[in-house]
């Protein structure tokens, strides 16, 4: 194998494929990147078996071939080379020669034949969605993924295509996040993608209109971004029927400014850290939301203007769940819907109907 | 006590005084900030006994007084309040009320009478130096402070005033860093300042021409920056006579570009990490410096242009020491002076004579 590639181009490709190299695999070869040189393109593949990333870049290929090279060291060498053409060639004795200007490296490489083959995916049923929107939907839901493994299915995000919509849903025992976008398709699908692989995918997606093609098989999902393909294993099992969790009716509804509420709750939570309960109380009054918290540290009272529909209500929350949600929401005006002080609170944008958030309250002894 | 202070002004003052609150003291009260309100100024003091910082800011003082309040929580509350006037007042039962717009906090405070008094320093013998220059001298030397405590005096930086010069010197067993600036004084002094307090002082100093007044007592040094005074304990004992360590003569001298050498050595060190020896070899040839390293990972050869005076030489180093030094130096052209492959290497700027660095080579078996 022998090729010449521009440093910046090669560095970018390595950094994409490297996102799938987690170093957590027990297979030594998965700490490497598979590099294939063929037809004036090089293909770089990284994988931890759950997540695989394949990316292509332009190069002047002088000799076809394929090798596996330790990802971290190879990436670091390329990153530190001058911004010029880099020549990469295999020598005898399983060594790889990397040269650029007056720098010369010789590394041991592994054999491409030992690298596991990627899952074959027939790109038949394809959904198209702009990268920026998908990235945003991941950001808007993945924070609510369950952190513990007691119910493995909840460590993923539900991808549900039906009625020409893509719904992405994450939930742990305490809150739920749903993002929804229009999708031009008559197909339906329901699959759960591991949260940790979604986070890596999110780093590769760019905030732009370029289309991602998404394909599903029984066990995998493929994101095709053009030069880069990302394949993730799906989680096995049935996701929770989230529709039945979200209350359709409410007694009390408040409308207010998201950033003001976030600031009030963040300040109130400073006094709620004692014993890690993060407990804050919301007193919903006519025109006013009063947020209080008490602990051994002292006490705090925050006040903000709201519009109330319904009766005044007192309800308590773990402030962390409200803060996570308010940070991730994007519209400035939000509505919160309540049924009682022990029922879930539903939060939406006031104007744009592309998300539903749900947070369980904390039941107080004196409620 | 009662005063009104602009949020940004108060936040800035807290963040300065808080740098001395390390949480490492066994005295509970030193986790607090001493706040004194008097004569339309408030004074905020933080201390961990080794390092004390006192800073003043403007405020509308409605009632004189002094209290101690937990630094971290108080700082966090003020930081998160809206950018407006903050009113701070003591209430009954050792509580402090903090209010700003619609936010109201009540905290427990401690008594000012329990706070230790700062060392009294008679500001007689004063040296003046611009803040930016002092900050730069700290940066240029403190990286070479000894990290282990086997010789406690080496965990500090020597401040030596003589012959109208300020010399700052740090050294561990493997390298030495000296920075030198002109100082308009006929006094002489020699004192060793703890490295960790110097790093905190460096964060307060600004990159500007404003003058710092420096005063010494037998046990302390005081930096007076106008609104802020920083008092540090001095290390006890005699510093190593560094003058005798720095060779005055040399056989071999090379001149080259600092950033090019840094890049070459950083790349070469990628292959030198095996076993944490960081061993790289320098082959000094006519017109050329060749840097090589070998390990189980592979090998590397880097080459750069130099001007050589004297005979070719082979010498080996721990790359970390060269990298630390080359990163901290500022001029683009540097000179390196060698006597033999087992003698210290002296590094200076080619043109500006304000620093001397010294690095010990690694003795190789086949030398």
Are A131 and A240 in the same domain?
A: yes
Are A238 and A256 in the same domain?
A: no
pLDDT value, residue B275: 66
**Percent of chain B scored above 90 by pLDDT?**
86
pLDDT, average across residues B25-52: 93
The whole-angstrom separation of Cα B154 and Cα B175 is 12
User: Structure tokens of A201?
Assistant: 């995918």
Residue with tokens 């319904």: A310
User: Structure tokens of A300?
Assistant: 């705090």
- Identify whether the C-beta of residue B54 lies closer than 8 Å to the C-beta of residue B42: no
Are B43 and B14 in the same domain?
A: yes
Are B130 and B68 in the same domain?
A: no
pLDDT, average across residues B335-344: 96
> Is residue B207 one of the residues assigned to a domain?
yes
- Does residue B3 surpass a pLDDT of 60? yes
> What is the band of A276 on the pLDDT scale with cuts at 50, 70, 90?
low
B31 CB near a chain A CB, below 8 Å?
no
The whole-angstrom separation of Cα B242 and Cα B321 is 18
Beta strands at B175-182 and B103-108: parallel, antiparallel or unpaired? unpaired
- Identify whether the C-beta of residue A75 lies closer than 8 Å to the C-beta of residue A19: no
For chain A, how many structural domains are there in total? 3
- What ipTM does the predicted assembly reach? 0.88
- Does residue B367 surpass a pLDDT of 70? no
- Does residue A361 surpass a pLDDT of 50? yes
Are B318 and B337 in the same domain?
A: yes
pLDDT value, residue A366: 60
**Residues 6 or more apart from B343 whose CB is under 8 A from it?**
B247, B361
Q: What is the pLDDT of chain A when averaged over all its residues?
A: 94
A291 CB near a chain B CB, below 8 Å?
no
pLDDT digits (tens, 9 = 90+) for A171-187: 998 999 999 999 988 88
The helix/strand/coil state of A361 is coil
Residue with tokens 């194998």: A1
The helix/strand/coil state of B354 is coil
pLDDT digits (tens, 9 = 90+) for B118-169: 888 887 778 999 999 999 999 999 999 999 889 999 999 999 999 999 999 9
> Is residue A121 one of the residues assigned to a domain?
no
**Residues 6 or more apart from B185 whose CB is under 8 A from it?**
B127, B161, B164
pLDDT value, residue A49: 86
**Percent of chain A scored above 90 by pLDDT?**
86
pLDDT value, residue A367: 44
Nearest Cα to Cα of residue A294 among B31, B72, B107, B87: B107
Are B270 and B334 in the same domain?
A: yes
The whole-angstrom separation of Cα B165 and Cα A234 is 69
Q: Which domain, by its residues, includes B235?
A: 126-243
The whole-angstrom separation of Cα B119 and Cα A21 is 56
> Is residue B38 one of the residues assigned to a domain?
yes
Which of A31-40, A271-280, B207-216, B217-226 tops mean pLDDT?
A31-40
Report the CATH number that the domain containing residue A297 is assigned in CATH: 3.10.150.10
Exposed, middle or buried: residue B318 (CB in 10 Å: 0-12, 13-18, 19+)? buried
Of B243, B263, B289, the last residue of a domain is B243
Are B135 and B188 in the same domain?
A: yes
pLDDT digits (tens, 9 = 90+) for B56-114: 999 999 999 999 999 999 999 999 999 999 999 999 999 999 999 999 999 999 999 99
Kindly calculate the radius of gyration of chain B based on its CA atoms and give it in whole angstroms.
25
Are A233 and A282 in the same domain?
A: no
Nearest CA in chain A to B297: A107
**CB spacing of A103 vs B264 below 8 angstroms:** yes
Nearest-CA distance A344 → chain B (Å):
27
> Is residue A326 one of the residues assigned to a domain?
yes
The helix/strand/coil state of B275 is helix
As beta bridge partners, residue B207 has none
Q: Distance from CA of residue B361 to its chain's centroid?
A: 26
Of A194, A225, A244, the last residue of a domain is A244
Chain B residues closer than 8 Å to A263 by CB: 80, 82
pLDDT value, residue B31: 95
> Is residue A233 one of the residues assigned to a domain?
yes
Chain B residues closer than 8 Å to A304 by CB: 102
**CB spacing of A105 vs B73 below 8 angstroms:** no
Each as own residue / partner, the long-range contacts of residues A344-347 (CB below 8 Å, 24 or more positions apart, any chain) are A344/A245, A344/A246, A344/A247, A345/A315, A345/A317, A346/A246, A346/A247, A346/A250
Are A135 and A99 in the same domain?
A: no
> Is residue B85 one of the residues assigned to a domain?
yes
- Least confident interval from A71-80, A201-210, B237-246, B343-352: A201-210
**Percent of chain A scored above 70 by pLDDT?**
98
Residues 305-364 of A with CB under 8 A from B: none
Residue with tokens 């740090």: B170
- Identify whether the C-beta of residue A174 lies closer than 8 Å to the C-beta of residue A358: no
Pick from B80, B105, B302: which is nearest to A103 by CB? B302
pLDDT digits (tens, 9 = 90+) for B318-334: 999 999 999 999 999 99
Are B235 and B265 in the same domain?
A: no
Are B12 and B70 in the same domain?
A: yes
- Does residue B276 surpass a pLDDT of 90? no
**CB spacing of B102 vs A266 below 8 angstroms:** no
pLDDT digits (tens, 9 = 90+) for A90-113: 999 999 999 999 999 999 999 999
- Least confident interval from A59-63, B168-172, B194-198, B302-306: B194-198
B89 CB near a chain A CB, below 8 Å?
no
Nearest-CA distance B271 → chain A (Å):
9
- Does residue A200 surpass a pLDDT of 70? yes
Beta strands at B2-6 and B60-63: parallel, antiparallel or unpaired? antiparallel
- Identify whether the C-beta of residue A108 lies closer than 8 Å to the C-beta of residue A94: yes
**Percent of chain B scored above 70 by pLDDT?**
98
- Identify whether the C-beta of residue B134 lies closer than 8 Å to the C-beta of residue B165: no
pLDDT value, residue B196: 86
Nearest CA in chain B to A262: B80
Residues 67-86 of B with CB under 8 A from A: 70, 73, 76-77, 80-82
Chain A residues closer than 8 Å to B262 by CB: none
Q: pTM (2 decimals)?
A: 0.91
Would you state the torsion angle of the CA atoms of residues B344, B349, B355, B358, taken in this order, to the nearest 10 degrees?
-10
pLDDT, average across residues A22-28: 82
Kindly calculate the radius of gyration of chain A based on its CA atoms and give it in whole angstroms.
25
Give me the DSSP letters along A266-313: HHHHHTS-GGG--EEEEEEETTEEEEEEEETTEEEEEEEE-EEES--E
Are A132 and A103 in the same domain?
A: no
> Is residue A367 one of the residues assigned to a domain?
no
- Least confident interval from A54-63, A337-346, B122-131, B137-146: B122-131
CA distances from A362 to A228, A243, A290, A305, B53 (A): 45, 22, 17, 23, 43
Of A68, A91, A114, the last residue of a domain is A114
> Is residue A119 one of the residues assigned to a domain?
no
């Amino acid at each position: 194998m022998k090729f010449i590639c521009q440093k910046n181009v090669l560095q970018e490709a390595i950094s994409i494929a490297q996102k799938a190299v987690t170093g957590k695999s027990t297979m030594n070869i998965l700490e490497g990147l598979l590099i294939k040189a063929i037809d004036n393109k090089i293909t770089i593949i990284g994988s931890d078996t759950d997540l695989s990333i394949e990316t292509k870049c332009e190069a002047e290929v002088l000799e076809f071939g394929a090798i596996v090279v330790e990802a971290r060291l190879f990436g670091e060498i390329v990153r530190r080379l001058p911004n010029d053409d880099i020549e990469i060639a295999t020598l005898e004795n399983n060594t790889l020669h990397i040269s650029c200007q007056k720098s010369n490296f010789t590394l041991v490489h592994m054999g491409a034949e030992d690298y596991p083959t990627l899952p074959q995916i027939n790109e038949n049923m394809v959904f198209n969605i702009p990268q920026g929107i998908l990235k945003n939907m991941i950001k808007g839901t993945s924070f609510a993924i369950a952190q513990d493994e007691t119910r493995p299915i909840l460590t993923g995000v539900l991808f549900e295509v039906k009625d020409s919509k893509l719904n992405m849903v994450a939930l742990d025992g305490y809150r739920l996040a749903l993002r929804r976008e229009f999708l031009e398709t008559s197909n339906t699908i329901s699959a759960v993608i591991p949260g940790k692989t979604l986070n890596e995918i999110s780093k590769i997606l760019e905030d732009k209109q370029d289309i991602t093609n998404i394909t599903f098989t029984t066990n995998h999902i493929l994101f095709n971004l053009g030069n880069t393909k990302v394949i993730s294993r799906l989680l096995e099992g049935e996701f929770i029927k989230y529709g039945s969790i979200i209350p359709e009716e409410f007694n009390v509804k408040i409308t207010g400014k998201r950033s003001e509420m976030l600031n009030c709750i963040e300040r109130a939570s400073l006094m709620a850290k004692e014993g890690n309960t993060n407990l804050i109380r919301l007193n919903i009054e006519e025109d006013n939301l009063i947020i209080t918290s008490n602990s051994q540290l002292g006490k705090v009272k925050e006040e903000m203007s709201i519009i109330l529909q319904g009766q005044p209500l007192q309800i308590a929350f773990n402030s962390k769940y409200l803060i996570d949600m308010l940070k991730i929401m994007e519209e400035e005006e939000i509505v919160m819907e309540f049924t009682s002080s022990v029922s879930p609170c539903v939060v939406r944008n006031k104007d744009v109907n592309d998300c539903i958030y749900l947070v369980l309250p904390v039941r107080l002894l004196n409620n």
